[in-house]
Amino acid sequence: MEENSDVGVGHGVSQQLVEEVLGHAGANLSASLDRLFQFLRIPSISCDASYAPQCRDAASWIADELSGIGFAASVKSTIGNPIVVAHNKEANGPHVLFYGHYDVQPVEPVEAWSSDPFEPSLKEQPDGETHIVARGASDDKGQLLTFIEACRSWKAVTGRLPINVSMFFEGEEESGSPSMEGFLDENGGELAADVMLLCDTYLWRDTVPAITIMFRGILEEEIEISCASRDLHSGAYGNAARNPIQVLAELIASLRGANGEVAIEGFYANIQDLDEERRDDILKLDFDADAFLRSAGLFHSAGDSAYSVLEQIWTRPSCEINGIAGGYYGDGLKTIIPSSALAKISFRLVPGQDPESIQSRFRDHIRARTPADCKVNFTGLGGSPASVISSKSQYLSTARAALKQEWNCEPVLIGSGGSIPIVSMVKRRLGLESLPIGFARSDNRHHSPNEKYDLSSFHKGIRSWIRVLAELSRCATDRPPMLAGNNTGADQA
């Protein structure tokens, strides 16, 4: 198709043209869904090295799709799974960098799935919704494809995009992104842009979009307590020998106070409570804490009672025990005192908390309480600081306007109790602010059996990104304009 002169001029695009692009996306939704099914069939599980070939297949699949719509796409090697980088720089105006991840979580327990987790299926629901069921349907393959399909429709209707777009997709997000920092250090110049977009977040409600502006950081630790040199007969050594499971249980219990607060010395040093304006914004969201807990089969908040549930999960740091193992746990009873016990512990961090400092405080806390005849071994499993995105950004206000057009309501600015390390990484290394705009629903079962993505969310996601790209073309930028047809490499000086 010939290039349309109404697009890519840096002064915004006409509403009529936007409607044409939206119409194309709707008319070709079935083809978009077919591509998503192809993508979902690739079992790109990053935490299991035996799936490394499938991760490479997923990276190649994305690169081929992007090349097919005119992006200069390449698959770049890392110390782990490859990263896909693609550019389409032929417009004036802003330059966005879109991030996503093509890797997925393991599927176990596979018997809990209603169908093959890597053979996607459409399941109609009593409420009229249709679920796309497969591993990665929502986290993150379906979400990232909404952006690619939005670009596809712009290209099909106008021959070009309304702004400059680069993309990069990693294959280790579900494994802590071990290759990402080195990749950014080596390739940061190629990823220079005005703002980063990502789509690994949630709607506020099923019909209310959200932009996530607060992410907690994370610190992950493994602790092993060892006592005797071998497992001991509990009759022969009972009372006389330290039991590492009991020791570990007492150490774990010492991590929390009576009101649910974290009891590690200095844990809350340097953090600040929310200002009144931000706290009022949270209260205005009219969050139903009781319904939130009931949805998980719970009735009482276990966190610091001085804070609301929403404040606890968005704005306060936490300490959680993610797994514990030791001794015999098969059928029947094996009467031993085990020689060791192990726990995996994670901390969610807020601004002002440095992962290395919290790690040091945690380890000092444990060492100070470890009794005689016990050895403690720590294994760090990674960490990243919290991120707060400025609410004053012109890109944020522009994206909010685009979402309001599509959803017919004001989008909500929310926090996330989870962590997306890439947000803090690109801020530190590339100086880029982010716009996390996701279309997942709270019941999408991320990381669980029967993960799903609502077909309506997939469609609305594509439409939303079409509008966001159009609105961003109205933003001013201090960068010099791109030369037409320059689709490769970093921005020109």
List beta partners, residue 452: 133
Binned at pLDDT 50, 70 and 90, residue 491 comes out as: very low
Token pair of 80 as six digits: 């782990």
* Strand partners for 349: 217
Residues 394 and 371 both lie in one domain: no
Domains in the chain, number = 2
Q: Is residue 468 part of a domain?
A: yes
Do residues 449 and 112 touch, judged by C-beta distance below 8 A?
yes
Q: Tell me the pLDDT tens digit for each residue of 185-220.
A: 999 999 999 999 999 999 999 999 999 988 999 999
Helix (H) or strand (E) holding 56: helix 52-68
Q: What is the model's pLDDT at position 357?
A: 96
In sign, the C-alpha dihedral spanning 430, 436, 437, 443 is positive
pLDDT attached to residue 485: 34
Residues contacting residue 4 through CB under 8 Å, at least 6 positions apart: 17, 157, 158, 159, 160
pLDDT category of residue 11 using cuts at 50, 70 and 90: low
Structure confidence by residue, pLDDT tens digits, 327-354: 998 999 999 999 999 999 999 999 999 9
Residues 26 and 104 in one domain: yes
Q: Is residue 305 part of a domain?
A: no
Structural domain of residue 30, as residue ranges? 15-215+387-472
119 in the same domain as 232: no
Asked, for residue 486, whether it belongs to a domain, the answer is no
Read off the CATH number of the domain in which 191 is found: 3.40.630.10
Residue 480 lies in a domain: no
CA dist 431 and 67 (Å) reads 28
Q: 112 — phi, psi (to 5°)?
A: -85, -10
Helices 141-158 and 29-40: angle between axes, nearest 10 degrees:
140
Is residue 487 over pLDDT 70?
no
- End of a domain among 361, 384, 407? 384
Q: Is 344 exposed, middle or buried (0-12, 13-18, 19+ CB in 10 A)?
A: middle
Largest CA distance in the chain: 87
Tokens read off for 259: 């009101």
The answer to whether residue 107 is domain-embedded is: yes
Tell me the C-alpha distance between 405 and 410, whole Å: 9
Count CB atoms within 10 A of the CB of residue 369: 14
d(CA 440, CA 464): 13
Looking at residue 75, what is its pLDDT?
98
Whether the Cβ atoms of residue 438 and residue 206 lie closer than 8 Å to each other: no
> What is the band of 64 on the pLDDT scale with cuts at 50, 70, 90?
very high
pLDDT in tens, 102-126: 999 999 999 999 999 999 999 999 9
- 75 in the same domain as 52: yes
Q: Which of 340, 362, 384 is the last residue of a domain?
A: 384
Predicted pLDDT at 93: 81
Q: Are residues 166 and 239 in the same domain?
A: no
Give the separation between CA 436 and CA 200, rounded to whole angstroms.
7
Share of residues in the chain with pLDDT > 90 (%): 80
- On whether both 112 and 260 belong to a single domain, the answer is no
Checking if the pLDDT of 434 tops 60, the result is yes
Residues 415 and 456 in one domain: yes
Q: How far apart are CA 168 and CA 62, in angstroms?
A: 10
Same domain for 110 and 251, yes or no, is no
- The rounded distance, in Å, linking the Cα atoms of 194 and 1 is 29
User: Quick one: 46 and 193 in the same domain?
Assistant: yes
Q: Is the pLDDT at 34 greater than 80, yes or no?
A: yes
Residue 367 lies in a domain: yes
- CA separation for the pair 160, 9 (Å, rounded): 11
Give the least confident one: 2-11, 216-225, 432-441. 2-11
Do 468 and 401 lie in a common domain? yes
**Could you please report the per-residue DSSP string of 86-119?**
EEE--SSS-EEEEEEE--B----SGGG-SS-TTS
Tell me, yes or no, whether 289 lies in a domain: no
pLDDT tens sequence across 281-329: 777 888 999 998 998 899 999 988 888 899 899 999 999 999 999 999 8
For the cut 80, the answer to whether the pLDDT of residue 280 exceeds it is no
Residue labelled with tokens 């991760």? 55
pLDDT of 209-218, one tens digit each?
999 988 999 9
Regarding whether 199 and 58 lie in a shared domain, the answer is yes
111 assigned to some structural domain: yes
3-state secondary structure of 304: coil
CATH code, domain with 224: 3.30.70.360
Place of tokens 């680069």: 166
What was the pLDDT predicted at 264?
97
Model confidence pLDDT, tens digit, residues 358-416: 999 999 999 999 999 999 999 998 888 998 887 778 999 999 999 999 999 999 999 98
Amino acid at residue number 106: P
* Strand ranges for 179-286 from DSSP E: 195-198, 210-215, 217-226, 232-233
Residues 210 and 185 in one domain: yes
Q: Phi and psi of 375, rounded to 5°?
A: -110, 145
Which of 384, 402, 422 lies at the terminal end of a domain, its last residue? 384
As a whole number, the mean pLDDT across the chain is 91
Mean pLDDT on 12-33:
96
Partners of 223 in beta bridges:
343, 378
181-205 b/e (C-beta count within 10 Å ≥ 16 → b): eebbeeeeebbebbbbbbbbbbbbe
